Amino acid sequence: MISQEEQPGFKHFSDKIGYYIGEEMVQNIETQYQKTLDFLPDLAVFIASYIVKKTFKRYTTPPAHIDRSIRFFFHNVFDPDEGAKRGHKGVSSVYLPYVRIFPSALPHTSVFKKGTYVKVISVFISATYLESFLGNDAALFPFLFAAEGNFVLEEIMTDDIIRTVNDIVKKEPLPALNNYYYKLKILELLFYLFQSLSKRQRSSHQKLSVRDIDAVYKVRERLVMSLEKSPTVSDLKQIAGMNELKMRRLFTQVFGQGIYDYYQHMRMQEAARLLREEKLSVSETGYRLGFENLSHFSRVFEKHIGKKPKQYSQLLGR
């Protein structure tokens, strides 16, 4: 059934699917928008934008009423509500869009930073239902359905994913077939995601420990926090606490790209944001991201975004 803002809130929804959120979550965020969808026992979705009022941590648990659930966590994907941000001094949206996929039962602690404006879609889906949805293509992703359920994947957004997400978020309730519409849209969203995942290079999927996952995300964090200057491999090895071969292999397994390619892609995503949201010129954008040669910047931008930065700016009406 569909639950909109005027209907019972997330607490009602979380109780229904057996997902414990904790009092800190209720007390320390200011919700701007929410929508909940449940198609139990197979599928449930929570969509929200909120402002974090106080820094806190939360240990996540799986929803009790969705068997062997896999979580698809879309972060900062749908368009921001700038009106919500303008009314709160110091509020920022600091993370680029991504989707993270992991078993809901995987131990995980979420950190919520004060002053952050967050926009999320959480899809909880039964592994059995997902396997039936994928049909014969489930064989391409055997690790998703392994008994131990120990994996993490992160994928960068595609235009199809972002467009479908915004369809789900912005669509007003339909006079008829409302549930049917939303269920099809959620499955369409997963279709585009798996279409993107299917393009990854085939490789053996190594079981990840909690320490491995933590190490790989520390490497990622170091990369995205220094987009203007690439950290050295020695720095990254020290951060990860593992040898270079293992670090590179696990990074590619989780993110679908090698460290250097991922770093360049994130730089160009940030470049596109600077052109689009902060209205910087092409030269200002290139120099801010550490490029001394603007021709080189233009070539890298075109490789990852599909257009030269000047063309991209012109499409924005500038």
State the pLDDT at residue 60. 82
Domain ranges of the chain: 2-197, 228-315
Strands 69-75 vs 98-103: parallel, antiparallel or unpaired: antiparallel
Q: Options 3.90.1070, 2.170.130, 2.40.160, 2.60.120; which CATH number does 2-197 get?
A: 2.60.120
State the pLDDT at residue 153. 92
State the pLDDT at residue 68. 92
Longest CA–CA separation in the chain, Å: 59
For residue 36, the tally of other CB atoms under 10 A from its CB is: 24
pTM of the predicted model as reported, rounded to 2 decimal places: 0.81
d(CA 94, CA 111) in angstroms, rounded, equals 14
State the pLDDT at residue 177. 77
Those residues of the chain that have pLDDT short of 70 are 1-9, 79-96, 203-204, 316-318
State the pLDDT at residue 9. 64
Q: Which CATH superfamily is domain 228-315 in?
A: Homeodomain-like (1.10.10.60)
